[in-house]
Amino acid sequence: MSKMTITDLSNLEGKVVFVRVDFNVPLKNGEISDDNRIVAALPTINYLKNQGARVVLFSHLGKVDHKDSEKCAADKAKNDMKFVAPRLAALLNEEIVYIDETRGDKLTNAVKNLKNGQVLLMQNTRYEKGESKNDPELSAYWASLADAFVMDAFGSAHRAHASTYGVPELLNKEGKPTALGFLMQKEVEGLNRCVDITDDNRPFVAILGGAKVSDKILVVEKLIEKADKVIIGGAITCTFLKALGYPVGNSRYEADQLDFALKCVEEAKAKNKLVLPIDHVIANDFAMPIDVRVTDGVVIPDGFERLDIGPRTREYYAKILANAKTVFWNGPMGVFENPLFADGTISICETLTKLTKEKGTFTVIGGGDSAAAAAQFGYKEGFSHVSTGGGASLELIQNDGHLPGIDVIADK
């Protein structure tokens, strides 16, 4: 790792360490439905506590609209960090200092009075209008309280905000240490296996599925450039098939992405890289699937929608994947939320976890829904790395390992 990491920091006793965590947990009426993100930050927090640091945690939580004052008040009420504080305390098994402000005397004094090994959590950083704009004054205020900065919010590392970029940038200038936390380090190491591809790590196979080509143009381009094979599944299949002139029945496709899809196909074809499904699971209707069938070939008949890869495609893909040394997967193969259309996604999970176990294939999932599918079907632990950041993981791949929140951290 070329960047400073948390274990490179020394003499932390009594130092105020600002840690940008990702506590952007799903909330419903103030109840946390999934505390994975808080749990994922614990190794970094506990390490700093054990070193005797005074630990100040800050994170965004949901969105706050600062343009409309009524909406702003409602967003603040909904995304109040006070909902997170008790869960953090429970997970740490100790009292924490919770400050319901993002700047001012109350926060400044609480930071000054923090004891060694104690943890402070401040209010949602997005209560500040300047957070998302990387406002210099806001960054300067936070930086003035900190002796060191640790970045551990991978899901926010693709944003150059005050808390992810402005603060560490200022601390670097002042000669104060900045480093990646344990969670960030794991993400960077895992995902970089798909960035710095050496001959030893090939064949490198990318599996791309999911909902929309338009969300993923840059990552598709990058993977066609880097991977030895790019396997396609999910709803994006139909945009590729349509571009090639195949009938897609009633399936959704993106008319404005056909040129791009064709360009990809041509580029990839020249290099014999792009792999498309050879059969599909189709149904009369996505919402009310009464008539569910498997196609004979690639053509989707009128009156039907493509909703998963078919059984022959599952076998075909498993064969291609069997030779891979590195695999990056983004996007489910079908509408896995419905068990009728989950087999394609399950087969990818099964194939990849088996390869990891039996052959040591390095398998990476980047993408929120793909990771959720792997977790739902019980395969998550079998992958080499499952990224916690959907958007951030794709941006890291398309930017050759660079993200603002990583780049700003001091080099070793």
What residues make contact with ligand ADP under the rule CB under 6 A? 210-211, 215, 234-235, 306-307, 330-332, 334-335, 337, 367-370, 390
Nearer to Mg ion among residue 368 and residue 382 (C-beta): 368
Closest to ligand ADP by CB, 33 or 69:
33
Residue with Cβ nearer ligand ADP (219 or 409):
219
Q: Is 395 in the site for Mg ion (CB under 5 A)?
A: no
Nearer to Mg ion, 56 or 373 (CB): 373
- CA–CA distance, 150 with 167 (Å, rounded to integer): 10
Q: Please, what is the minimum distance in Å from the beta carbon of residue 374 to ligand ADP?
A: 10
* Catalytic annotation present for 314: no
Q: Among residues 14, 117, 382, 391, which one is catalytic?
A: 391
Nearest-approach distance from CB 218 to Mg ion, in angstroms: 16
Which of 368, 382, 391, 401 touches Mg ion by CB under 5 A?
368
Closest CA to 127 of 102, 91, 98: 102
Tell me, yes or no, if 212 is annotated catalytic.
yes
In this chain, which residue has its C-beta nearest to ligand ADP?
210
State phi, psi for 373 to the nearest 5 degrees.
Answer: -65, -45
Tokens 């094979």: give the residue: 229
**Residue 216 annotated as catalytic:** no
Out of ligand ADP, Mg ion, none, what residue 8 binds, judged by CB under 5 to 8 A for its kind, is: none
Q: Among residues 78, 176, 186, 212, which one is catalytic? A: 212
Q: Confirm whether 378 is a catalytic residue.
A: no
What is the layout of strands, in order, in the sheet containing 362-365? 274-275, 229-232, 204-208, 326-330, 362-365, 385-386
Query: Counting contacts by CB under 5 A, is residue 369 touching Mg ion?
Result: yes
Q: Residue numbers of the site for Mg ion (CB under 5 A)?
A: 368-369
Catalytic residues: 37, 212, 368, 391
